[in-house]
Chains A and B, each alone.
Chain A
Amino acid sequence: RKEVEQDPGPFNVPEGATVAFNCTYSNSASQSFFWYRQDCRKEPKLLMSVYSSGNEDGRFTAQLNRASQYISLLIRDSKLSDSATYLCVVNKYGGSQGNLIFGKGTKLSVKP
């Protein structure tokens, strides 16, 4: 089983739609979780961290379910500029001790 698994998509949605991505991780001892965004032919950039209590940043909401070992990202009122690949990222050990394990990403395409 891969350490971090995501549905590769693509998810093709109209502007204004709500879209959700899920991600599962295999190591139950994993401590920290993130979503990174990668635009076409660009580098990955941190979108948001994911906390057990869930967290929201504008139109973006991230959730963590430790019991089921999955992480979700919800995008509301999607914009054309949200088109990108979203990478689910897990830090096995947390803090500065661990390495980041990246999923292969879910591609989102928002259409007019």
Chain B
Amino acid sequence: AQSVTQLGSHVSVSEGALVLLRCNYSSSVPPYLFWYVQYPNQGLQLLLKYTSAATLVKGINGFEAEFKKSETSFHLTKPSAHMSDAAEYFCAVGGTGGFKTIFGAGTRLFVKA
């Protein structure tokens, strides 16, 4: 069985500050891990994904995430927040052993000027 927990339904940061969105997963098989972003009134789009290659994954718009097997985590970071980063972010887990992707509940990021 697989599951995803995103810590914090809302995160607020100041423009220029570090962005850290937390994701912990549970998987009985080697996981594939995804971060999707949803801008207001739009569908989800892929930010980055981990496929068991490099543990540090770089995505679009300056975001990156690090796969830590010992901590079962895949936290999303960005060194300096921009106003345009305000959106909802979803962590998801899949893998070669199954079909579906399991989505977390989402974290809404607010960026203050």
A and B associate: no
Using a CB–CB cutoff of 8 Å, the interface residues on chain B facing chain A are none
